[in-house]
C-alpha cells in the first residue's frame, strides 16, 4: 500500500543546479527528488539563489567583487521559497544567478563556517542536494553527499580536497542527517568522516525515463547505429581509454559522446575532435538526450569513480544495453545486468564493445536484464524512502494508504 505523507510535512530543496544553469547529474537528482515528492503528495518548495546582475549575452551572475564584499557581512541571509513548478519545468525565477549559493562559497572561504539562511516560514526539512556551505534556520537540515571522490581520488576532479574535507566535516557537525546514493558511498562516508552509522542513509536514487515522442536524432545518426557515452567529460569519465578501446575494437558503429563542453580541460575536447569514429555532441535538452540513449546500440560508461552512475540506470530504464565498470557504485547499480569491465583495461573494454557491436542475442539479454534491475529505482519507492526519513527527523509518523 502506498505511504501517506504525514500532515504538516513540508520539504524545501535548494535550486542551486537550476539557478546556476547546470545540466549535470546533480541537477537531474534535484529535479527528480522534487518531482517524486510532489507526486507522492508532499508539499515541495525551492530555495532560490537570490537576484544577481545579468551579464549582456550571458547567464545571470553576480560579479566577483560584489560577491566577496557580500560574503564579509555577518548575520543570516534571507531565503526565498518558491512553489514546486508543474510538469518539472523550473520557474524562470529560479534562474536568478544563484547569488546566495555563490556568496556562500565565498563566505566559507573567508570565515570557514556555514552561511545561515532565514525564512519567514521555514519548512519541516531543508534538503540540500549537494554539500553546500549553507543551513536553514528553523528546519531539519539534510544534505546529500553523493560521493567522496574529491577525497579518495583528488586527481580525478578539480575540487580542492582539503577545502572539501573541511566543508564536509562542518556539514556533518551541523546537519540533522546525511543521505547518499549508494551503499558504496555510504560506507566510504562512514569510514572517512567518522559518522555514526545511523546518521548516514543510503536512499539510492530514482530514475525517471518518461514515455515521449522522441525528437529526431542529430544528423548522421540512425537508431541502433551508434554507441553513446554521456556526462561531463571530466577525467574520471575515462574518455581517453574509452576512445582507445573503441578504436581497438574496430566497431562498425560510431561512438557518440554527449555532454557539456569541457572548456576548462580543452585537451579532452581536442582528443575527441581528432578521434576518427567519434561524434561529439554538446549539452542536449532532456528530451533529446533520452532519445539519444534510447536509440543507441549500447551505453558505454567505464567511469573510474561514481557515487551512483545515473547514465547506467537511465540506459537500463530506456531499454539500452550497458557496458560499465566492474567495481564500486557502478557494479552496485548495474547489479550484474550489464557487461562489467575493468575500466583501466583497454583491451577488456574493446572485447566488450566488439561483443555489443556484433551479438544481437547478447543485446536482447542485457535489455531484458536491465529492465528488471531498474525496477529498484522507481520514483514511487524512492519517494516512500524519503518520506520515511523526513517524517522520522520531524518526529512524525507516515501512514499507509
Burial class (CB in 10 A: 0-12, 13-18, 19+), 385: middle
Structural domains of the chain ordered from first start: 3-206+378-400 (3.40.50.2000), 226-377 (3.40.50.2000)
Pick left, alpha or beta for residue 277 (phi over 0 → left; psi -120 to 50 → alpha; otherwise beta): left
Q: Would you write out the chain's pLDDT as a tens digit for each of its 401 residues?
A: 667 888 899 999 999 876 555 557 888 899 999 999 999 999 999 998 765 444 444 445 556 776 677 777 888 898 889 898 865 555 545 545 578 888 999 999 999 999 999 999 999 999 999 999 999 999 999 999 999 999 999 999 989 999 999 999 999 999 999 999 999 999 999 999 999 999 999 999 999 888 889 999 999 999 999 999 998 899 999 999 999 999 999 999 999 999 988 877 889 999 999 999 999 999 898 899 999 999 999 999 999 999 999 999 999 999 999 999 999 999 999 999 999 999 999 999 999 999 999 999 999 999 999 999 999 999 999 999 999 999 999 888 766 65
Backbone angles phi, psi at 228, to 5 degrees: -130, 145
- Helix, strand, coil shares, percent, the chain, to 5: 45, 15, 40
Quote the pLDDT of residue 52: 47
Q: Are the beta carbons of 116 and 103 closer than 8 angstroms?
A: no
C-alpha atoms less than 13 angstroms from C-alpha of 146 in its C-beta half-sphere: 21
Quote the pLDDT of residue 16: 86
How many of the other CB atoms lie within 10 Å of CB of 329? 24
Burial class (CB in 10 A: 0-12, 13-18, 19+), 212: exposed
Q: Are the beta carbons of 100 and 49 closer than 8 angstroms?
A: yes
The span from the CA of 297 to the CA of 221, in Å, is 11
C-alpha atoms less than 13 angstroms from C-alpha of 149 in its C-beta half-sphere: 21
Quote the pLDDT of residue 95: 47
Q: Are the beta carbons of 151 and 161 closer than 8 angstroms?
A: yes
Global pTM reads 0.91
Q: Are the beta carbons of 97 and 19 closer than 8 angstroms?
A: yes
Quote the pLDDT of residue 57: 47
The span from the CA of 187 to the CA of 16, in Å, is 27
Helix or strand or coil: residue 65?
helix
The span from the CA of 179 to the CA of 68, in Å, is 30
Quote the pLDDT of residue 3: 76
The residues pairing with 125 across neighbouring beta strands, listed in sequence order, are 11, 140
Quote the pLDDT of residue 263: 79
Short-list 348, 308, 314, CA closest to 331: 308
Measure Cα distances from 62 to 46, 102, 108, 369 in Å: 20, 8, 17, 48
> Can you say whether the dihedral through the CA atoms of 54, 57, 59, 62 is positive or negative?
negative
∠ CA 79-82-86, rounded to 5°: 160
Amino acid at each position: 500500500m502506498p505511504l501517506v505523507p504525514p500532515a504538516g510535512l513540508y520539504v524545501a530543496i535548494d535550486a542551486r543546479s537550476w539557478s546556476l544553469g547546470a545540466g549535470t547529474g546533480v541537477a537531474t537528482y534535484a529535479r527528480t527528488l522534487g518531482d517524486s515528492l510532489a507526486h507522492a503528495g508532499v508539499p515541495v518548495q525551492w530555495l532560490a539563489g537570490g537576484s544577481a546582475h545579468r551579464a549582456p549575452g550571458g547567464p545571470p551572475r553576480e560579479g566577483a567583487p560584489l560577491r566577496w564584499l557580500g560574503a564579509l557581512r555577518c548575520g543570516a541571509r534571507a531565503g526565498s521559497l518558491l512553489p514546486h513548478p508543474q510538469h518539472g519545468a523550473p520557474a524562470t525565477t529560479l534562474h536568478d544567478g544563484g547569488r546566495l549559493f555563490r556568496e556562500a562559497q565565498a563566505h566559507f572561504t573567508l570565515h570557514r563556517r556555514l552561511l545561515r539562511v532565514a525564512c519567514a516560514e521555514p519548512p519541516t526539512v531543508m534538503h540540500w542536494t549537494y554539500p553546500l556551505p549553507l543551513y536553514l534556520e528553523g528546519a531539519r537540515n539534510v544534505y546529500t553527499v553523493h560521493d567522496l571522490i574529491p577525497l579518495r581520488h583528488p586527481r580525478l576532479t578539480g575540487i580542492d580536497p582539503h577545502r572539501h574535507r573541511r566543508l564536509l566535516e562542518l556539514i556533518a557537525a551541523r546537519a540533522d542527517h546525511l543521505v547518499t546514493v549508494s551503499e558504496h558511498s555510504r560506507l566510504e562516508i562512514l569510514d572517512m568522516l567518522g559518522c555514526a552509522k545511523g546518521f548516514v542513509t543510503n536512499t539510492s536514487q530514482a530514475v525517471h525515463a518518461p514515455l515521449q515522442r522522441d525528437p529526431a536524432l542529430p544528423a548522421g545518426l540512425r537508431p541502433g547505429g551508434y554507441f553513446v557515452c554521456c556526462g561531463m567529460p571530466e577525467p574520471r569519465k575515462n574518455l581517453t581509454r574509452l576512445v582507445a578501446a573503441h578504436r581497438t575494437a574496430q566497431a562498425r558503429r560510431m561512438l557518440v559522446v554527449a555532454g557539456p563542453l569541457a572548456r576548462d580541460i580543452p585537451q579532452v575536447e581536442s582528443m575527441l575532435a581528432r578521434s576518427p569514429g567519434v561524434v561529439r555532441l554538446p549539452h542536449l535538452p532532456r528530451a533529446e538526450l533520452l532519445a539519444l540513449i534510447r536509440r543507441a546500440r549500447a551505453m558505454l560508461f567505464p567511469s573510474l569513480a561514481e557515487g551512483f552512475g545515473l547514465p547506467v540506470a537511465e540506459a537500463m530504464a530506456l531499454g539500452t544495453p550497458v557496458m560499465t565498470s566492474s567495481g564500486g557504485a557502478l557494479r552496485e547499480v548495474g547489479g550484474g545486468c550489464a557487461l562489467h569491465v575493468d575500466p583501466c583495461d583497454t583491451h577488456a573494454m574493446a572485447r566488450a564493445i566488439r561483443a555489443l557491436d556484433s551479438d544481437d542475442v547478447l543485446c536482447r539479454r542485457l535489455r531484458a536484464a536491465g529492465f528488471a534491475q531498474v525496477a529498484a529505482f522507481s520514483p514511487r519507492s524512492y519517494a516512500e524512502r524519503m518520506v520515511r526519513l523526513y517524517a522520522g527527523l520531524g518526529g512524525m509518523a507516515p501512514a499507509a494508504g
